[in-house]
Structure 1
Amino acid sequence: MSAFANLPRPATLAMALAASATLAACGGGERPEADLAASQVTTIGVNSYLWRASLEAVSFAPLLQADSNGGVIVTDWYANPSNPGERVKVTITILDQDLRADALRVAASRQVAQGGGWVDAPVQAATVQKLEDIILTKARELRRQAVS
């Protein structure tokens, strides 16, 4: 026997409509595939695709700091073995949980050996831009892989 059998007919109809409205909110159509790899996927404080891509991009250098909640990665000084008279240090800041170009900030410092010590030298803007492009491209690739 129905749970609504003892209720008057209008009340039965009202309860049935309320129950079906509740169930309709639970079900519905399939979720779009894009939701599976949304641009805002994160279990850390920042976008996980940008975070992973950033760590991969600076994996050549030793890390001084990697704070996934604050979104900051700082490398130690790195000298390329083929050019030991020059060294670089990179700081990457992820500013948002969304996978967007303006959610990423890269800064680099460069020093050259001079007179037995290290002297600050300018970093070409194209170098920083290239590193940003590498990170964004890798982050988008990681997102595409998560969808497939």
Structure 2
Amino acid sequence: MTAHRSFRRPAAIAILGVASIGLAACSSNDRPQADLAAAEVSTIGVNSYLWRASLEAVSFAPLLQADSAGGVIVTDWYANPSNPGERVKMTISILDTDLRADALRVAASRQVNQAGSWVDAPVQAATVQKLEDIILTKARELRRQAIAG
């Protein structure tokens, strides 16, 4: 009887071990909602919250390029109908899979119409900073919404 009992114990431990491995494998596929909304979301090559927020922030302008794998968005020239003598073009680069301020780079070009031709003009640093702030705020909001479900 002792030989039979000593055989049962290792078998029971082995079965429990296999079952726990199976459960661990299941839990990695069924992640809690908060994990899905983690700051690092990169199913498209870059942080998806930054990507979506960037697209939304420049949705008023026509897109020339939107490369989600490389994280680059380039708009075509856009002139505000209320100020047709000025136009802007933007390039947004998402540099990381993390939702961080330094993972975002915004560049803008500005031109003014002088005597029928477009001439390069300076872009105020505050304008670029404002667009970065809009994107980061929207990305954080998207993340909060994903966490809340």
TM-score, length-scaled by structure 1: 0.85
Deviations 1:13-63 (A, max 9, x none): 2232233234334258x9665213111223211111111100000001000
Cα deviation digits, residues 96-136 of structure 1 (max 9, x gap): 11111111111000111113211111111111111011001
What is aligned with 1:16?
12
More helix by share: 2
* SS of corresponding position for 1:14: helix
Alpha-carbon distance in 2 for matches of 1:10, 1:102: 60
- Partner secondary structure for residue 19 of structure 1: helix
The answer to whether 1:54 aligns with 2:54 is: yes
Q: Does 1:107 align with 2:103?
A: no
Identity of aligned residues (%): 77
The unaligned stretches of length 5 or more in structure 1 are 1-6
Q: Which AA in structure 2 matches 1:45?
A: G
Distance 2:4 2:90 in 1: 73
In the TM superposition, structure 1's runs of 4+ consecutive aligned residues that sit over 6 Å from their partners are: none
Unaligned runs of 5+ in 2: none
One-letter identity of the residue aligned with 1:80: N
Matches within 5 A, 1:55-70: 55-70=55-70
Corresponding residue of 1:39: 39
**AA matched with 1:20:** L
Q: Which residue of 2 aligns with 1:85?
A: 85
The aligned counterpart of 2:135 is 135
Q: Given residue 92 of structure 1, which amino acid in structure 2 is its aligned partner?
A: I
Cα distance in 2, alignment partners of residues 144 and 22 from structure 1: 37
